[in-house]
Amino acid sequence: MKLIQLNDLSEFNVNPFLLLYNANYLTGNNDAKSVAKSLIYPRVLGTSINTSFGTQFQYFISNTLSGYVSAIQGLDIEFVDQIDSRRKYCQLKAGPNTINKDDVQTIINHFNGVRNLARTIDCQLG
């Protein structure tokens, strides 16, 4: 096992929107030790609480609101717009570092895929 020393909090690439949520989700409180655990455990276990947050948010939307989880790869939520009654597709992103310039083309490709699929199955998009 390789020991890595972290000298600065910025090395964790912290999502400020989820920092205290993650600590509470993991341990039930947000004291300093819980925050530290929420930063360290994903690196040790190779998984992310942020991914769990996104999954739970999708669950919330599909069970509480009128939207539902999208079956289209790369898109997270689908819903019928209450204003124009058209189906809408979206990706959920939470935090300052969730998208970079390389992701933009990937997202465009996902939406182009939806447009192509809609044309194929004769489904009108907005």
pLDDT at 54 over 80: no
CA 28 to chain centre: 22
Mean per-residue pLDDT of the chain: 78
**Tokens representing residue 87 in the block:** 């189906």
Question: Cα Rg for the chain, rounded, in angstroms?
Answer: 18
Q: Looking at residue 95, what is its pLDDT? A: 62
Q: Looking at residue 45, what is its pLDDT? A: 63
Q: Please name every residue paired with 89 in a beta bridge, in sequence order, or none if there are none.
A: 78
Q: Looking at residue 126, what is its pLDDT? A: 62
pTM: 0.48
**Tokens representing residue 80 in the block:** 């019928």
Q: Looking at residue 115, what is its pLDDT? A: 87
Euclidean distance between CA atoms 44 and 35, whole angstroms: 15
Amino acid at 65: L
Average pLDDT over residues 67-85: 82
Could you tell me the residue ranges of all domains in the chain?
Answer: 13-47, 68-120
pLDDT at 65 over 70: yes
